Amino acid sequence: MQLFIDTAEIDEIKSLNITGLIDGVTTNPSLIAKSGKNIINTIEEICNEVSGPVSAEVTATDFDNMILEGKKLSSIAKNVAIKVPLTFDGLRACKVFSDDGIMVNVTLCFSAAQALLAAKAGATFISPFIGRLDDIGADGMNLISEITEIYDIHGYDTKVLAASIRSVQDIVDSAKLGADVATVPPKFLKSMYNHPLTDKGLSDFLSDWKKTGQSIL
């Protein structure tokens, strides 16, 4: 399973990218606004830091302007994936971009029917928002299961990108259900390698080692 970091903060990206565990980055208008930076400059900075896919979202809602914005964003770097909403115009734009060999991340997916259309439109990634479904009492993991089943049966190449992650367990459950990617806020990525028993075990080992008076170096 690939892990994308869900942020537009370049310092956070740099600090986590040095681990070699980051496969890509996702951004959206809300994250760009939170960073307080120019969208073009931000995407360019991220693409210079990360070699994997970097999702950059259009802000237009009509087809013509989605195409114009998408072309401008895709010109920043070869690893830009144009992010479009799962609307009629978004799917039209997805087809145009995918036919031109441009990666597309179709976002704001909340049903398997929507995911089927995105795959038919040539989406590189489909982003089901599992956390937002859970927030309204629906089952986000069931959506992941339905999409992966449909894609496997019909041989679609579109990758399932679990989005709107609410916990580390969401990442684990998505992986178990066959999601190809999870896009993860930095705080959850850091939580993935933290465990109190790991800390205790390490403390015990170091305490025992200190008693020997030895040094490896």
Quick check: helix, strand or coil at residue 201?
helix
- Give the pLDDT of residue 152: 98
Cα separation, 103 vs 55, in Å, equals 9
How much of the chain, in percent, has pLDDT values that exceed 70? 100
- Nearest-Å Rg of the Cα atoms of the chain is 20
Alpha helical stretches, state H, 53-159: 63-74, 88-99, 112-120, 130-135, 140-154
Tell me how crowded residue 166 is: count the other CB atoms within 10 A of its CB. 15
- Give the pLDDT of residue 184: 96
As assigned by CATH, the class of the 2-212 domain is alpha beta
Angle at 94 between CA 90 and CA 98, to 5 degrees: 175
* Chain segment 68-103, per-residue pLDDT in tens: 999 999 999 999 999 999 999 999 999 999 999 999
Confidence grade of residue 121 (pLDDT, cut at 50, 70, 90): very high
Residue type at position 188: F
Q: What is the mean pLDDT of the chain?
A: 96
What is the 8-class DSSP label of residue 136?
A: T
- Kindly provide the b/e burial profile for residues 83-108, where b requires at least 16 CB atoms within 10 angstroms of the residue's own CB: bbbbbebbbbbbebbbeeebbbbbbb
* Chain segment 6-31, per-residue pLDDT in tens: 999 999 999 999 999 999 999 999 99
Cα separation, 105 vs 83, in Å, equals 5
Q: Which residues are catalytic?
A: 83
Cα separation, 208 vs 216, in Å, equals 14
